[in-house]
Amino acid sequence: METVTQTETSTSTAPEGAAIFKLSDASMSFGRVDALKNLNFGVLEGERIAVIGPSGAGKTTLFRMLAAVIKPTSGVVTAFGHDTRTLRGRVLRRLRSDIGILYQNDNLIQHLRVVHNVLMGKLGRWILPRALLSLFWPQDLNAAKKALGEVELQEKLWSMPGELSGGQQQRVAIARLMVQQPRVMLADEPVSQLDIRLGREIIELLSGVARRMNTTLMVNLHTLELLQGHFSRVIALREGAVFWQGTPREITREMLKDLYGAEYRAMHLDEVELDA
Ligand SMILES: Nc1ncnc2c1ncn2[C@@H]1O[C@H](COP(=O)(O)OP(=O)(O)O)[C@@H](O)[C@H]1O
Ligand SMILES: [Mg+2]
**Most confident of the ranges 4-8, 73-77, 86-90, 208-212:** 73-77
The radius of gyration of the chain's CA atoms, rounded to the nearest angstrom, is: 19
Ligand 1, atom 17, lies closest to the CA of: 58
Contacts of 208 (CB under 8 A, 6+ apart): none
Model confidence pLDDT, tens digit, residues 24-69: 999 999 999 999 999 999 999 999 999 999 999 999 999 999 999 9
Amino acid at 37: K
Whether the CB of 124 sits within 6 Å of ligand 1 = no
User: Tell me, what DSSP letter sits at residue 101?
Assistant: E
Ligand 1, atom 11, lies closest to the CA of: 35
**Most confident of the ranges 1-10, 129-138, 198-207:** 198-207
Whether the CB of 73 sits within 6 Å of ligand 1 = no
Instruction: Classify domain 19-106+186-271 at the CATH topology level.
Output: Rossmann fold (3.40.50)
Q: Among the listed ranges 78-92, 112-126, 148-162, 249-263, which one has the minimum average pLDDT value?
A: 112-126
For range 5-30, the mean pLDDT: 70
Does the pLDDT at position 250 exceed 70?
A: yes
* Cβ–Cβ < 8 Å for 254, 222: no
Confidence grade of residue 124 (pLDDT, cut at 50, 70, 90): low
Contacts of 164 (CB under 8 A, 6+ apart): 114, 153, 156, 172
- Pairing between β-strand 33-44 and β-strand 99-102 as defined by DSSP bridges: unpaired
Question: Measuring CA to CA, how many Å separate 259 from each of 50, 53, 166, 201, 209?
Answer: 15, 7, 30, 26, 30
| Between 206 and 4, the higher pLDDT residue | 206
Whether the CB of 40 sits within 6 Å of ligand 1 = no
pLDDT for res 7: 40
- State which of 30, 218, 263 you would mutate to test the pocket of ligand 1, scoring each by most atoms of that ligand within 8 A of its C-beta: 30
At residue 19, φ and ψ (nearest 5 deg) are -75, 120
What is the 64 CA–ligand 2 centroid distance (Å)?
A: 10
Contacts of 6 (CB under 8 A, 6+ apart): 40, 41, 242, 245
What are the strands of the beta sheet with 48-52, ordered from one edge? 99-102, 184-188, 216-220, 48-52, 233-238, 241-246
Residues 48, 230: Cα–Cα separation, whole Å: 7
- State which of 28, 33, 39, 263 you would mutate to test the pocket of ligand 1, scoring each by most atoms of that ligand within 8 A of its C-beta: 33
pLDDT for res 128: 66
pLDDT for res 84: 95
Ligand 1, atom 3, lies closest to the CA of: 30
Ligand 1, atom 27, lies closest to the CA of: 56
219 has which bridge partners? 50, 187
What is the 55 CA–ligand 2 centroid distance (Å)?
A: 7
Name the pTM for this structure.
0.87
Please report, rounded to a whole number, the percentage of residues in the chain having pLDDT higher than 90: 64
Whether the CB of 61 sits within 6 Å of ligand 1 = yes
What is the 58 CA–ligand 2 centroid distance (Å)?
A: 7
For residue 53, the ligand 1 atom closest to its alpha carbon is 22
* Cβ–Cβ < 8 Å for 62, 46: no
Q: Where are the domains of the chain?
A: 19-106+186-271
Nearest ligand atom owner, CA of 31: 1
Collapsing DSSP states into helix, strand and coil, what is residue 203? helix
